Structure 1
């Protein structure tokens, strides 16, 4: 009965209302998550300096690797769980959930071991110069110790949305964000811990929300239940989750490789200063793309449920409405970044050199941002439908196939500007690829296929 109350609305309520109810909380939650990343960077920039921002930027690829595995478990698991719920297979959905928790525990053990063994060599490998290495180590050590909290919170947030419980999903994002914003100045300034204070504040915030999420599942507030027998790893379940979540893993992991390539080229053709500038721009970019990702995440459980329930017309209505919303959003963001780049930089720093160089770089980076929405939705759509191959192609395309080669090649001709130019070119190429894939599969996901029309004609004749 509980499962019916929680998830059946995905197949019955009006699509605009569903998309609004799931997307707006997701957007707000993603906004808050981006906000505390922004606040983190502001405190570090003003409290320690642009070198510290560069150190955190160098360390960020390590965090992205942790989040890549969590994304594979969370997004892949959410897709599988939403389809299980749509097919009325609640017990199997619980087994999927239990297996995800077990994998997260294994990831966490690896993270703790890594913090004591090869953290510093890894950061050097990722491009840390002698001047910024201490900041990178200070920031990442507490983060690695808290791997479980990050992985658990990130993965389960996607799973909560897969059962249609958007209200609690947004709470799991708001709670750590608010706590982090409160604790940052206490640890960075009050306790004079500098960069490490920012990391400790983040770990404590994620630990607090982990307790809240565990209570949600253990007290029966979810459509899913957590039982000991479901924690036993079944490789058939893990394989299905990983196959669907692999595009998310590839996207996050390739993001880590991309960051390493960008940092390396910025230092080679510029200086540590440009790494710090990119660290600021990256936070702004993260902030800008969050509304689009929020709409996409709101779309995914609706599409997944209705696809599992064979309600294809509702599925297609959801897809078209999502595309309209994200195109409008991406155009608004594009215009804002073209008109007010220096204003956004001044939020983070008062250094005229950083502001001027950062504003110039932002205009180039956001030059074709208005096409980003389509590629984001296409990737999420294929994940929601449990179609890993096209989702994987889209995940690979922007960062691995297009962006990283461009980042490595263009600076040889244009210097530091070549790094910035790589972004709009990669966005256009990714948009073209996403459009081709969507057009190819239009009879399945965008327009009514011939098989469906034949079935409807037979049903109308029999009645």
Structure 2
């Protein structure tokens, strides 16, 4: 059992680890080439760009859960239909989102706090990303579906090759040829294109082909996928909602230096989140299949392993961030003012990292086992808590209130997650 578990977990975690490394390196390149302005621009633009990836991930993970649940229950035809309808949803939804962001991107960027040169750079990044939005959505959606078919290593290679090319192109297009955020966007799209090519080759194989009959949209299949997709979409996109709110309050209480400081901290927190997501996404097919088979003993084993790994990674990441807080600004090339803010705020974000190790796997466990109320409560409850906290705490604590927002929210969510898990303890307790 454990061999099978690690066969899913390790490739998935390594894939997201490389994605996280890319994210950090991307920020270093932008910071060194463009300074605080570049970091602020890409950070403000990111919530709009992240919609593309979150859309693909949400649909892909939602379909993966439904495929595994149906296969575990012996409903192979329904599982095939879910996979085919996922492809339909990925293409159609990405085209719609591209149109919306193309026509309304500029006013949305202004609402997010971009102005002057920051607005100009942010819009450049968004426009070049949109040229490959369909590529990114479909690639990010097919990746979990490939992993769900047992092709975890192949899926890892698809993501890894895309990330490696992305890193190489970032260096070339940002530092060698100083194309700024246009170069960063082109590198991202071309990296995702490589991942998509891997996925297309996978699904062109005879044994993996999706029939046109299964691609034809079915109301019940689409509804089932979207119902589950709400949680992984929210889980993937929530950091971007937090970025929006944090950027606005950083601008209000600390200016551009605070926005730049938060951009660096957000890169590091995102890296840790990706590690935990790699663990959770890797475990999802096994959790969903065990749930579909009503195999409580196996479900319990996979669940305990997943939480042990998530919590361990969270504590380790938080500890490293705290210990290395003085070295972090040097790597990113921030101004002295931004560096002081990073050092000051790092302990609060270290706590966030540690608690993510519990809260994020909790969300994944609940949607993987089709407990959608619990997963949605944790995901969208975090949004509400973040909004309420970040609008009130800075009134009293000023910029410190901005830094303490995320730790406060994660403490509340951790308590809620534990209560939910204790309520569902019987589900993973085998009968004597």
TM over 0.5: yes
Say which of 214, 233, 249 aligns to 1:230: 214
Residue number in structure 2 paired with 1:418: 401
Task: Give the SS at the match of 1:341.
Answer: coil
Alignment correspondent of 2:267 = 283
2 CA distance for matches of 1:266 and 1:137? 20
In the TM superposition, residue 439 of structure 1 has moved relative to its aligned partner by 0.7
Matched with 1:393 is 377
Contact in 2 for aligned 1:54/1:279 (Cα 8 Å):
yes
Q: CA deviation at 1:198?
A: 0.6
Partner Cα distance (1:350, 1:407) in 2: 25
Following the alignment from structure 2 to structure 1, what is the Cα–Cα distance between the partners of residues 308 and 22? 28
- Residues 360-403 of structure 1: CA deviation (Å, up to 9, x unaligned): 111122235433222112111111112211111111222x1322
Corresponding residue for residue 16 of structure 2: 30
* Match runs of 1:202-217 below 5 Å: 202-217=188-203
Matches within 5 A, 1:89-168: 89-168=75-154
Picking from 80, 84, 87, the partner of 2:66 is 80
| Match of residue 243 from structure 1 | 227
Instruction: Assess if the C-alpha contact under 8 Å between 1:411 and 1:417 holds in 2.
Output: yes
Deviation at 1:233, TM superposition (A): 0.8
CA RMSD of aligned residues (A): 1.7
Distance in 2 (alpha carbons) for counterparts of 1:89 and 1:218: 23
> 2:327 maps to what in 1?
343
The 1:256/1:290 distance shift into structure 2, 3 A limit, reads closer
Where 1:402 maps in the other structure, the secondary structure is helix
Secondary structure of the corresponding residue to residue 226 of structure 1: coil
Aligned to 1:299: 283
Check conservation: 1:115, 1:145, Cα contact below 8 A: no
**Cα offset for 1:221?**
5.8
Contact residue 72 and residue 241 of structure 1 kept, 8 A: no
TM-score calculated relative to the size of structure 1? 0.89
The number of aligned residues is 432
Structure 1: gaps (5+ residues): 1-13, 454-463
Q: Does 1:404 align with 2:394?
A: no
> Residue 415 of structure 1: CA displacement?
1.4
Q: SS state of the match for residue 279, structure 1?
A: helix
Does the C-alpha gap of structure 1 residues 242 and 287 become closer, same or farther in structure 2, counting only changes over 3 Å? same
- 1:115 CA drift (Å): 4.9
Cα shift readout 1:118-160 (whole Å, capped 9, x = no counterpart): 2211111222122310110010101112111111111111112
Alignment pair present for 1:441 and 2:427: no
Q: What residue number does 1:11 align with?
A: none
2:45 is aligned to 59
1:269 and 2:253 are equivalent in the alignment: yes
CA distance in 2, matches of 1:377, 1:357: 30
Which residue, out of 183, 196, 200, partners 2:186? Answer: 200
- Which is greater in Rg? 1
Any stretches of 5+ residues in structure 2 without a counterpart? none
TM-score (norm 2): 0.95
Cα distance between partner residues in 1 of 2:63 and 2:418: 26
User: How far apart, in 2, do the equivalents of 1:350 and 1:394 lie?
Assistant: 34
**Given the alignment of the two structures, is residue 429 of structure 1 paired with residue 412 of structure 2, yes or no?**
yes
